[in-house]
Copies of this chain bind each other. A is one copy, B any other.
Amino acid sequence: MNVRNIKLEISYDGTNFHGFQIQPDQRTIQGELQKAIGMIIKQQIKITASGRTDTGVHARKQVCNFHTESRIPVEKWVDALNSLLPEDIVVKSATEMPFEFHSRFDVKKKIYRYSIYNDRVVDVFRRNYTWHYPYSLDIETMKKASQLFIGEHDFTSFSSAKSEIENRTRTIYEAEIGKIGNEIYFQISGNGFLYNMVRIIMGTLVEVGSGKMSLEDIRSLFREKNRSMAGITAPAKGLTLWDVEY
């Protein structure tokens, strides 16, 4: 049999999911996707993704792949899956890849965007996609602070203390802070991210923007390797997996 490797680019609104990874009795993105694929090929399969996303975290572009003996032409997968998937997951494209392509191991770069709604009253249309932060923030200082994360660093201070991963060194390629209307966005790209890393960096940048932490405090966080000295873990709903590059 000829086994094909199908890559899917998907997008989802994480609001009503218990994260990406399949779990018994929970609504998950992986669970819904595997169910829809299973209905098409009449067979249970397991998909791989570029990485998990947590409960409430969104994806503008997430990449998955799966192997199948199905002969369904690759251009049919998008409409077939979208007709079966719930409305908060959308398949944007399907491509046949070489057998060896792996959506997690082959990642070259991941891009996340975190959005803050910075006005007194929440924007009802952005309530599930932004962290409502009603106090003033010094964006210029936050921009300076964001640059300290670029390069190769040990991110122990900026990852969940529960994480058991040993190598906490990651390389950040770009970090940008900007403002559109009342929304402040923080976009960061790197070769990989530890658990909660973007949300803890965001929480720390907000401490800087509100004057509670200084640039020097961030520099010492890289030396101290102590999660408890960094800012809070910013709420999941403001985070979106923006893009994945191979």
Spell out A's residues near B (CB within 8 Å). 11-13, 58, 60, 78, 82, 87-92, 121-125, 127, 129
> A127: nearest residue on chain B (CB-CB)?
B87
Establish whether residues A13 and B125, one from each chain, have CB atoms under 8 Å apart when the complex forms. yes
Q: How far is the CA of A87 from the CA of B127 in the complex (A)?
A: 8
- In the complex, A179 Cα to B220 Cα: how many Å? 47
A-B contact pairs, 11 of them (CB 8 A): A11-B124, A12-B124, A13-B125, A13-B127, A58-B125, A78-B121, A82-B121, A88-B124, A88-B127, A89-B124, A91-B121
Q: Interface SS of chain A: helix, strand, loop or mixed?
A: mixed
CA gap between A125 and B241 in the complex, in Å? 13
- Is A90 in contact with B13, judged by CB distance below 8 angstroms? no
Q: Are A90 and B12 in contact (CB under 8 A)?
A: no
Q: How far is the CB of A153 from chain B (nearest CB, A)?
A: 31
Residue on B nearest A12 in the bound complex, by CB: B124
- Contacts A11-B125, A87-B127, A90-B121 aside, 7 further interface pairs with beta carbons under 8 A come to A12-B124, A60-B125, A82-B121, A87-B124, A90-B122, A90-B123, A90-B124
Q: Which residues of the partner chain B approach A11 to less than 8 Å between Cβ atoms?
A: 123-125
Instruction: Give, as a whole number of angstroms, the nearest-CB distance from A126 to chain B.
Output: 10
The interface residues of chain B lying within 8 Å CB-to-CB of A58 are 125
Q: Which residues of B contact A123 (CB under 8 A)?
A: 11, 90
3 smallest CB-CB distances across A and B, nearest first, come from A90-B124, A11-B124, A13-B124
